[in-house]
Amino acid sequence: MTSTRVTSRVLTHASLRIIADGQAASGAYIASPSFSQYGFGWLRDGAYCAMSMDAAGERDSAARFHEWAVAVVLRQAGRIRDIVSRTAGGETVPVEHMLPTRYTLSGEGEEHGDDVWPNFQLDGYGTWLFAFDRHVHGSPSAAEAEAVALVAEYLVATWERPCYDYWEEFGDRVHTSTLAAVAAGLSAAATLLDRPEFGAAAASVVARIEADCVVGGAFVKGPDDARVDASLISLATPFGVFSATDPRMEATIARIQRELMSPSGGVRRYVGDTYYGGSPWMLLTAWLGWHLRLVGDADGYAAARSWVEDHADENGTMAEQITDEPQDPAFVEPWVRRWGPVADPLLWSHAKFLLMEHGA
């Protein structure tokens, strides 16, 4: 924790600068410029960065990211059509043939070494569609429409498959937050392209959430995991798949506050997390603050904002997580030995701060 709280004005300027500096000439946003494993562009992280830049009035930056994403998707057009066709024919396409969750900053697939990244995730593709729909405010170009259709068709074909979650974990499971991202993305594609079949597919995804991902009146991590996960905030903020005033959503937020909030007020990912010890994450605390601001909980928003201000460094730089409130202290040092200190800065943290302050 810093000895002197950094003001929100300092954090806003720092966030805009760090996200801008982390945007490659291609338009991609690097996940973190200083962490050994994060020198790539994630569709999910990048989509949130683009949303945050739109919210802060930096629309040119967001536009460059979406141009990069469109080019990435179109480069994968043949692969997507093959996956959709084989899936329609009843084949289970091997995981290693599915689209990756991250790309090089130039938009290519990465070369894998001995430590293969858990790359099959669907949330980033749904999140990109949602963010793109928010950005364009109108009719997409022909190339953009083709990219949107390709991604939507890919999601329709694959959404029922297990994949890795937001945290690149539990690849053998279905995840509620991933389903919500898919539903939001398909709804966006239906609007962008005036294709109601994508809206119908989104409704099917929402029905799966309602049928299999609610326990005790609250949304849970997945059909096979009754824990609460902080990424479940996304079901309402920003995706709006469920209203923030839905009793199940209110119960989910209450569980997050009760079970995932650390003694100092930061928000952890989920109970049992051991990544760098499982301490609170900057972006999750800001994400909760964003949600609480939108629902009119001024005290909750102020508390989240103060926590983020307390845990940024004196220059306004925000890491991925802190490490001084671990759930399991024995797991901090092994991760440091493996990959070095936690990612600092993490662009996604800065994006969530901007959205906490300016996002709708």
Catalytic residue among 58, 110, 168, 297, which?
Answer: 168
Asked if 181 and 130 touch (Cβ cutoff 8 Å), the reply is yes
Residue 314 designated active-site: no
Out of 165, 229, 273, 309, pick the active-site residue. 165
Report residue 229 CA to chain centroid gap: 13
Q: 218: which strand partners? A: 215
Crossing angle for the helix pair 123-136 and 176-193, nearest 10 degrees?
40
320 tagged catalytic? yes
Query: Active-site residue among 45, 229, 320, 344?
Result: 320
Q: Is the CB of residue 237 less than 8 Å from the CB of residue 291?
A: yes
Residue 103's alpha-carbon distances to 48, 68, 94, 112, 339, in angstroms, are 16, 11, 19, 12, 20
DSSP-based three-state secondary structure for 281: strand
Contact call for residues 186 and 129 (beta carbons, < 8 A): yes
Answer for the pair 57, 354: CB distance below 8 angstroms, yes or no. no
SS3 294: helix
**Active-site residue, 325 included:** no
> Which tokens hold the place of 193?
């392209």
Assess contact for 307 and 285: CB atoms under 8 A: yes
Contact criterion met (CB below 8 Å) for 136 and 92: no
Other Cβ atoms closer than 10 A to 141:
10
Mark 267-302 as b/e (b = at least 16 C-beta within 10 Å). Answer: bbbbeebebbbbbbbbbbbbbbbbbbbbbebeebbe
- Catalogue the active-site residues: 165, 168, 320
